[in-house]
Amino acid sequence: MELMNDEQIIELYFQRDEEALKQTEKKYGQLCFRISDNILLDRSESEECLNDTLLRVWNSIPPTHPNSLKAFICKIVRNLALTRFEFNNRKKRAKELQVSLDEIGDMIPDNRISADFDDEELGQAIDRFLDTIKDDARNVFIRKYWFFDTVSDIAGRYGFSENKVNNMLYRTRIKLRDYLKKEGIYI
Amino acid sequence: MKNRRIITAMNYISDEKIAKADEMPKIKYNHSKKTIFTALGGVFAAAAIGIVILQTGIFSFKPDTFIPDNTLPTEASSGDNTHIVVKIDYDSLPFEYTGGKPEKLTNLSVYGEGQGDCTDFLSNSGNPWSENMILTEMPVFQSAERGFFRPDDYIPILEKYSAALGEKLTDVSFQYMNDPDIFGPEIAELYKDRTMLLTAKAGNVSFEVNAHSAVGKLNITISGLDSPDDELVANMMGFDSPQKLGDGTIYDKSEDIFMRIMNYNFRCAKITSPDTITACDLLTTLDCIGMYPVISVNDAKVQLAERENIADSGLIKHIEFEYLMSENCEFFTPYYEFFVLQPDETYKIFLIPAVSPEYIDDKGENT
């Protein structure tokens, strides 16, 4: 059976048809599970996170009509998994995830961000920066710091060596730091 | 808290980008991949920094004729084990290089010669290149953005070392090395705020951080390590042994030789063992315009002899491989740097472009 397109699925949500949940899980369940598992490293918790995500999507559409259902769902599962991760504070994963976040976090020290600069503005600045770099570098950056893929997974996905992925991430972090500096976020 | 902000902020990355990043990538053709070179031995010592420049010349590349040369020899022709050949893994370059044709270059200024106290270079050099390395091609960079040194980047590192020694860090002193009385007015102005000297003590041990951002070099020198117990500190700083070496150049020793050359000339100073500390970024961007064939050091010697009429090659006491650019130059290009003994027992430095002459126009023309 063919997968429904996103608009059809969204329409089901608007009709409050529970088939929407089945179709969403069928189409995006695996992706959601992977994102969640990248963060939680726990199969059963990731499955729970997937269920929570479906519930959150059900409660959000309507009134929300996402432009990209895929990105919308990914954001929800990512946030739910991160919240759960923080709650669990599992040491092993905490350390690994912390490394990823520290890499990018070091460029944006809290105490140097203007108080007037909120997270949305920071995020939009990062988004604008991502427009300025090459597709490959952007995708690798997002895979690492948004999806929390491992370097090994990213290398496999794009057919790069791990060394190359590390170099790309390093270069992008440097460019981002300079970009944010110019935007006045990093003094 | 900080990380939570980043996580939250990253939520505002556009849906389109997230969705695109989750698309499976198109399969790409992997062009002429070369393998990383194998080292038969490496010279790896340490030194303080010194760059002296007195004269400037001009030349330009012939970009229209440039074709990346994949036919250059990849193994030492002599067949002995005294030479190593540095090859480049294009998939692992520390800069973006697509293999395209380089942009047209004009008015490429180069350094000519200089003079100075070369004592440190002659005894210990931190340059990862040595005469037994054959470089077949090297990148040329445009518009590399220079970083500037801040003592605050280094003091925590020295504090860490001193803590490992069980001592407190004392006598911290910092200065930009731009004193015209020491370096002369021209050089002092040229390197204003780009050359840094930071010194400190931890008990009987002395630290000296000597950095030069114009060419992206950093040395941390330590003296007074005389106990086997100090080995930890020595290892942390990348020294092989606290007894044998009293100073060292810090860069990532885990990389291959090409990467070490890049690190030494351009990249951040890193201390990789047992902790990873990124001290600073000496050059924040590197725009590669192309990979250029490089002449051998022997060919450079011939050029030097012809240009400067140096009949006795025995007067060449030391050679380095350097990336340099002048104030008015928009390119970083590699050079062989010859330290030649003068009749008055001082040393004169001569710079020969390492890029193959067929890619250079008006070589040696003075400004």
Give dist(CA B120, CA A162) in Å, integer.
38
Each residue's pLDDT, cut to its tens digit, for chain B (367 residues) gives: 555 667 778 888 888 888 888 876 543 322 222 211 111 111 111 222 222 222 222 222 222 222 222 222 333 333 445 677 887 777 777 677 766 555 545 545 454 566 555 555 555 556 778 888 889 888 888 755 655 666 777 787 788 778 877 889 999 988 776 666 665 666 666 666 667 788 899 888 888 877 766 556 667 777 777 665 566 666 655 554 444 344 455 555 555 778 778 877 776 555 444 444 445 555 556 777 788 888 999 999 998 888 877 777 788 888 888 887 655 556 778 888 888 888 877 778 888 888 887 777 654 443 3
- Backbone phi, psi, residue B116, to 5°: 175, -175
Chain A residues within an 8 Å CB radius of B29: none
Point out which residues pair with B206 in neighbouring strands: B201, B223
pLDDT at B363: 43
- Residue A56 sits at the chain B interface (C-beta within 8 Å): no
For B240, residues 6+ apart whose C-beta sits below 8 A from its C-beta are: B44, B234
For residues A56-65, average pLDDT: 88
ipTM of this predicted complex? Answer: 0.76
Share of chain A above pLDDT 90, in %: 8
Q: Which of B245, B257, B297 is nearest to B129 (CA)?
A: B257
Q: Could you tell me if B210 and B154 are in contact, meaning their C-beta atoms sit under 8 angstroms apart?
A: no
What's the sign of the alpha-carbon dihedral B191, B194, B195, B196?
Answer: positive
- Asked if the Cβ–Cβ distance from B22 to A109 is below 8 Å, we say no
- The answer for B 213-242 residues in CB contact with A (under 8 A) is none
Per-residue confidence (pLDDT) for residue B296, from 0 to 100 = 92
Q: Do B17 and A142 touch (CB under 8 A)?
A: yes
Q: Which residues contact B354 (CB under 8 A, 6 or more apart)?
A: B135, B138, B294, B295, B300, B321, B333, B334, B335, B336
Given an 8 Å threshold on Cβ–Cβ distance, is A127 in contact with B95?
no
Check if A167 contacts B (Cβ < 8 Å). yes
pLDDT-based confidence at residue A130 (cuts at 50, 70, 90) = very high
According to DSSP, the residues that pair with B349 across neighbouring strands are B114, B339
C-alpha B322/C-alpha B337 separation (Å) is: 7
- Give residue B77's pLDDT: 37
Find chain A residues with C-beta within 8 A of B24's C-beta: 157
Q: Between residues 25 and 44 of chain A, which touch chain B (CB distance below 8 Å)?
A: 31
